Homo-oligomer: A and B are copies of this chain.
């Protein structure tokens, strides 16, 4: 019953989606690993937490920097491998137009594809699911005789919060 709630703040600050969302995602990852016999390792967990706690798309090198400590440096290549795992299982999504990653906000199956609304002003990314868009796409693909495997739908523009801000300012 949440739909596309957008959380009301849109990431105007580092607080992001909060620890609640993060814990939810981690729990989902643990269930998933349990069920499929996969390893939800410490690196994968920390990578997921970093992505989930940031309120905007993060590059792999940014993630590596956040995971690194003065004595313990995490190389970007390790982050890429963790991100491969997380994206394959739908825990994070890659934003192709930004070369960056965001946490999944919906727990959708592999069949449902998401629409990403990317704000040019504040950099927030909102993930929504629309059955109507799915149907339109499926119809067009069937008509063209094209068998889809993965879908990328990314809209750049201005989110509701930033529109109000500009009008008021």
Q: Return the chain B residue nearest A158 by Cβ.
A: B147
A163 within 8 A of B: yes
Interface residues of A, CB < 8 Å — how many? 38
Given contacts A133-B136, A148-B155, 17 further A-B contacts (CB under 8 A): A4-B144, A6-B144, A96-B97, A96-B154, A97-B152, A117-B144, A126-B144, A128-B144, A132-B139, A133-B133, A133-B140, A135-B136, A136-B136, A146-B160, A149-B156, A149-B158, A152-B154
Q: Across the interface, which residues of B come within 8 angstroms of A137, CB to CB?
A: 115, 133, 153, 155
Tell me, in angstroms, the Cα distance from A124 to B40 when the chains sit together: 37
Tell me, in angstroms, the Cα distance from A157 to B153 when the chains sit together: 15
Tell me, in angstroms, the Cα distance from A144 to B119 when the chains sit together: 12
**Could you pull out 8 A-B pairs where Cβ atoms are within 8 angstroms?**
A115-B140, A132-B140, A145-B159, A146-B157, A150-B156, A151-B154, A152-B152, A153-B153
A73 within 8 A of B: no
Q: Across the interface, which residues of B come within 8 angstroms of A156, CB to CB?
A: 148-152
